[in-house]
Structure 1
Amino acid sequence: MQANEIRRSTAVDAGIFAALALVMAATRLHHFGAVPDASWAVFFVAGFYLRRWTAWAFPALMVLAVAVDYFVITASGLDFMKHYCVSLGYWALIPAHFAMWAGGALMNNVVTQSAGKRLGALVVSVVVSVVVCHAFAQGGFYWLSDSVKNPSVAGWFKNYTDWLLPYMGVAASYIGVAALLHVAAVKMLGLSESATARTTK
């Protein structure tokens, strides 16, 4: 790869990072608003495009997520550390979000396969990533938060399954939009999937 190609791909990656950070911040500000929180999808898409930047891009997005949460909680007049959502379980969001990141990063391994195989891999990757992510996020809150009185395996399982499909639907919807934009961009710019894969490693 030539030097100008490296610079160009780095600029594109920086633009992708900025766009994803903006989407997450804008939607996370209103977690239960009319526009659902795109955080899980953002980490998945970032894992696909920015896996060569994992060492700093993943921590940067995590810091942004916590900063947005801090702003929202304190802006409402509450103490961040005393909020019911913030407990020892809150830090389970790190492996939760990394599960989404890893799912996106693994998609790089199939970008040169047939369209059918890519679609199948995307579906499996999204489902598995969300199942694992939700296990950490919901499980951390359920088992490690003082907000849940008398936790039990049955109570945890019901809570996990009650929320799994809604979160799956939100993440899949955002990732689906991102996939369509990716396909459209590849066609418009006349790129091959192998070329897009090289710039993500």
Structure 2
Amino acid sequence: MPLLSTRSQLLLGLALAVLMAVTRGQHFATLNLPSASWAVFFLAGVWLRPRWVFPALFAEATLLDFSMVAVGTVGDWCTSPAYWVLVPAYGALWLGGRLYARGHREHWSSLVRLALSVLVAALVCHLLSSGGFYFLSGRYPEPTLAGFLPRIGYYYPRFLANLALYVGVAAVLYTGLRAWNGLGLQRESEV
């Protein structure tokens, strides 16, 4: 990926933080968008260089979750010791974005690499987050692998679809901006 300026990274980081805030949970009753949290972590890995971005985004997600529980917007079903498995789960998304960015080329063939990166990062994230909750939350009296496996087929497609939606929109916007900038450079050289 081309390195973004510090200003561009700051603006993009703020945009990702706002996107997570307005789509995570039910604290903004007027918006009913699917959660962008997984995409935010993946895209932050792709575009934002500072390592402190990951803990900052995780702190934001945690603050949003626990504040919604505190004000009663959502129940406390998901708040258990298993909540902290989200650190490596979201880390898998962030790392998946980082690995994709290292191999990115300004060519259509990068879309295949992007799709594979999204699929693998999402699967690892899902196995950690859903598996951690199933096995460590205490919400299921006798968790078994046989009981967990059907949950993958039920929940993973929905989370993958949300992630793919937001990453797809980001890829289209990125491609459009690169084309726009390319046209601008071409026009300048013609003058």
Q: CA deviation at 1:108?
A: 1.6
Q: Distance in 1 between matches of 2:26 and 2:173?
A: 24
Give the partner amino acid of 2:168: G
Residue 80 of structure 2: aligned partner: 87
Q: Matches of residues 32-47 of structure 1 in structure 2 within 5 Å?
A: 34-47=32-45
Q: Which residue of the other structure, out of 84, 95, 98, is the alignment partner of 2:91?
A: 98
Q: Distance in 1 between matches of 2:89 and 2:131?
A: 10
Q: Distance in 2 between matches of 1:67 and 1:40?
A: 16
Structure 1 counterpart SS, 2:158: helix
Structure 2 counterpart SS, 1:190: helix
Residue 24 (str. 1) matches residue 20 (str. 2): yes
Give the partner amino acid of 2:99: L
The answer to whether the 8 A contact 2:34-2:162 is kept is yes
For normalisation by structure 2, the TM-score amounts to: 0.87
Q: Matches of residues 1-201 of structure 1 in structure 2 within 5 Å?
A: 9-30=5-26, 34-50=32-48, 52-54=49-51, 56-76=52-72, 83-112=76-105, 114-116=107-109, 118-190=110-182
Q: CA deviation at 1:29?
A: 3.3
Give the partner amino acid of 1:35: L
Higher helix share: 1
The answer to whether the 8 A contact 2:23-2:32 is kept is no
The answer to whether the 8 A contact 2:26-2:73 is kept is no
The answer to whether the 8 A contact 1:30-1:37 is kept is no
User: Percent of counterpart pairs with the same letter?
Assistant: 38
For normalisation by structure 1, the TM-score amounts to: 0.83
**Aligned residue pair count:** 179
Structure 1 consecutive aligned stretches of length 4 or more whose deviation exceeds 3 Å: none
Q: 5+ unaligned residues in a row in structure 2: which ranges?
A: 184-191
Give the partner amino acid of 2:21: A
Structure 1 counterpart SS, 2:50: helix
Give the partner amino acid of 1:15: L
Q: Distance in 1 between matches of 2:62 and 2:144?
A: 28
Q: CA deviation at 1:62?
A: 0.2
RMSD: 2.2
